[in-house]
Structure 1
Amino acid sequence: MTCRICGAELPDGAMFCGECGSSTSATPESRRRPDPRPGDTTVIERPARRNSGVISIPVDGFRAVTAIEPVDAAGLASPAPAAHPETVEPPASTRFVLTFSTGETRTVFGSGLIGRRPMPQPGEQFDHLVQIADRSLSVSKTHLEFGEHDGTLWIADRFSGNGTIVRRPDDGAVRCESGRRYLVPRGSRVELAEQFFVVA
């Protein structure tokens, strides 16, 4: 009798492996973590892109807290009430205009999610939920997250089915690694599968 996880020899009747601690009924497939990506995204083929000029900040790194982003007890930024008399509007330099391939334009600040039907995870709060009409289903429900750092927009792919590509004005195409933040200066184009938006 052998362990199906580590291959160690086990005595007859053993319930657990003495080497790796796995149950004798465990299989490599049963130990595989579930895929966090949405299951209804239509996967499209893309040509290989060169991976250069990556500027990234770890997702669990710092996040600037401003007057419009109060922080709760769990340390999560939350949007300020819309009608609160003491709400401080962000300066024009921290607002970004996103012009989408579908024809819509959206002015954003703070944090947000973009996708076909973006939904925060439990405990998450965002200033914007930007929905893209994509009949081809190439864009995932929650495709990417965005925020602001030192006056520059950043994005992070949220384990989308078809990925995200950033094209900066002074650099080539960069395919985003899921879960990492990439700075997106004004004038850049962000491709979400068959859709895109330009940052101004």
Structure 2
Amino acid sequence: MAVMFAMDLSDGQHVETSGNGVIGRNPASHTPGTEFEDPAHIELVTVADEAKSVSRAHLAFGQYDGVFWVMDLGSANGTTITYPGEGTFACDPNTRHEVDPGSIVRFGNASFALSRRS
């Protein structure tokens, strides 16, 4: 059963999701690959970024067994996760990284805080 998560983005967007998606300046440019079990049903989250620090398709997100994950899609400026009380870690490209509720995910000059909805 899918769990509902919320992403509060630095640009003021509030996105609630129980599925998979792509975040970027133009996420529709992303061709879904093996990162999604069901590539036909993905959410696209567009982030305005005039400085172009965020790639067109910067990162993918989703969940597996109630655990939220992100995956940098080989972006130019990378993705980091700051875990509460544990520090900040850089994401290896094209690798799923678990994100705990309360964590901050930074991608280019943008970011989102993750929370779990009941």
TM-score by length of 1: 0.52
How has the CA–CA distance of structure 1 residues 185 and 136 changed in structure 2, closer, same or farther, with 3 Å as cutoff?
Answer: same
- Name the count of aligned residue pairs: 109
Distance 1:122 1:194 in 2: 24
Work out which of the residue numbers 89, 99, 116 in structure 1 matches 2:8. Answer: 99
Distance 2:32 2:57 in 1: 14
Q: Which residue of 2 aligns with 1:78?
A: none
Deviations 1:118-177 (CA, angstroms, capped at 9, x unpaired): 023167434311111111110000000111022121000000010000001131111001
Unaligned runs of 5+ in 1: 1-65, 67-89
Q: Is the 8 A contact 1:113 1:126 kept in 2?
A: no
Matches within 5 A, 1:20-39: none
- Larger strand percent: 2
Q: Is the 8 A contact 1:111 1:148 kept in 2?
A: yes
Unaligned runs of 5+ in 2: 34-38
Q: CA RMSD in A?
A: 1.5
Structure number with greater Rg is 1
Work out which of the residue numbers 37, 40, 43 in structure 2 matches 1:128. Answer: 43
> Which runs of at least 4 in structure 1 moved beyond 3 Å after TM superposition?
none
Does residue 118 (structure 1) correspond to residue 27 (structure 2)? The answer is: yes
How has the CA–CA distance of structure 1 residues 194 and 127 changed in structure 2, closer, same or farther, with 3 Å as cutoff?
Answer: same
One-letter amino acid of the counterpart of residue 89, structure 2: V
How has the CA–CA distance of structure 1 residues 139 and 150 changed in structure 2, closer, same or farther, with 3 Å as cutoff?
Answer: same
Work out which of the residue numbers 45, 64, 78 in structure 2 matches 1:163. Answer: 78
TM-score by length of 2: 0.85
Distance 1:156 1:116 in 2: 16
How has the CA–CA distance of structure 1 residues 166 and 108 changed in structure 2, closer, same or farther, with 3 Å as cutoff?
Answer: same
SS of 1:173 mapped into structure 2? strand
Work out which of the residue numbers 153, 156, 174 in structure 1 matches 2:68. Answer: 153
Distance 1:166 1:136 in 2: 21
